[in-house]
Amino acid sequence: MKQNNAMPVFGKGNSSRKLKPKKVPQAMPMMQKTESRSVGFDRTYNNYGQPEFGKAVPQKTVEPVVQSEPQPEPVEKELPPVQPVEAWPVVDIVEPVKRASILIIVLTVVLAILSVVAIVLMVLVFTKQLETGEVNVDQAAPEVVDQVSSNCEITKCVEQIGLEMSLEEVNQLIGFEGTLVEEGSEEYVWDFGDGETLKIDFGGAKDSVVAELTREKYTDAAVDFARYDEIRALMDSDAGANYDQVVEIVGGAPGVIIEKTLMFTRYLWVNEDGGYMKGLFENVEGGKCAMVEGRF
């Protein structure tokens, strides 16, 4: 018995027909998602080409195209020619500063030299004045008193005043009262003006009459100190030099009394050149010269 290898046919009738092979749908090619331009929800497709519903699609706003008016072509304007700018001059201030500094240093040195020269000249002038007697270094500053008229010149008053006289007698002789020099002392001063004063100490053993004079007022043309060495030689001898001998040596001019004490009398001589000499003599007959001093 032959086997029937034919496959049974199902369906209506027994009509035998060949079944067509069923077409298997081919996989759709991969598609990219697309976006819709419609408003609201729209469908999209997945990677398999199948539609997907209900997903919100972001909407794009389409801007209207505005036709702009044609713009005129820009007209190139000719620019004015560029003027060259003059550069600022470069000033060199280093050299002027150096010169100014050197000038200041030179002026400072010159001023210092002039100052030194001026000081030296002042010292020389003062020394010359001391030598000529124009500056009296022995003159003490008198007590400031009122100047009044006197009965006699100061040198004449000195000659007339005796050491035994009282204050009242001296005031009467001079013509005005003296001023007490210091409280508790017995020294009085009389101001004759022109820088001349007379001081008297009434203190017993200290009795003295001292006159401060302006030497220029007592210049004597006859006074000559050229033989001064003879006075020194006589003073060094055993006999000594008395007042009359000194007067004869200096030209025969008598001295001016400037001081009197109980034991000594001091005289002053002034020549025309401003030189002067002071001599101290004993208050005895033929009294010897105890000391001489001066500048000439």
Distance CA(206)–CA(209), nearest Å, equals 10
Contacts of 145 (CB under 8 A, 6+ apart): 179, 189, 190, 191
Distance CA(177)–CA(190), nearest Å, equals 7
Q: How far apart are the first and last CA of the chain?
A: 197
Q: According to the model, what pLDDT value does residue 189 have? A: 93
Segments of the chain scoring below 70 in pLDDT = 1-71, 74-77, 85-93, 132-148, 204-206
Counting every residue written for the chain, the total comes to 296
Q: What is the pLDDT of residues 1-49, one digit of tens each?
A: 444 444 444 444 444 455 555 555 555 555 444 444 444 445 565 666 6
pTM of the predicted protein model: 0.50
Tracing tokens 């600022």 back to the chain, one arrives at: 88
* CB < 8 Å & 24+ apart, contacts of 35-38: 35/60, 37/62
H or E element: which one contains 227? none
H or E element: which one contains 228? helix 228-236
Phi, psi angles (nearest 5°) of residue 188: -125, 155
Burial class of residue 170 (count of CB atoms within 10 Å of its CB; 0-12, 13-18, 19+):
buried
Q: According to the model, what pLDDT value does residue 289 have? A: 92
Is the CB of residue 279 less than 8 Å from the CB of residue 292?
A: yes
Is the CB of residue 181 less than 8 Å from the CB of residue 217?
A: no
Distance CA(178)–CA(167), nearest Å, equals 8
The two tokens of residue 27 are 């996989």
How would DSSP label each residue in 184-213?
A: T--EEEEEEETTEEEEEE-SGGG-EEEEE-
Q: What is the pLDDT of residues 45-87, one digit of tens each?
A: 566 666 665 555 555 555 665 566 666 776 666 777 777 766 6
Q: According to the model, what pLDDT value does residue 2 have? A: 46
CA 72 vs CA 75, 76, 291: distances in Å? 9, 12, 130
Q: According to the model, what pLDDT value does residue 186 have? A: 87
* Radius of gyration in angstroms for the set of CA atoms belonging to the chain, rounded to a whole number: 70
Q: According to the model, what pLDDT value does residue 199 have? A: 92
Burial class of residue 140 (count of CB atoms within 10 Å of its CB; 0-12, 13-18, 19+):
exposed
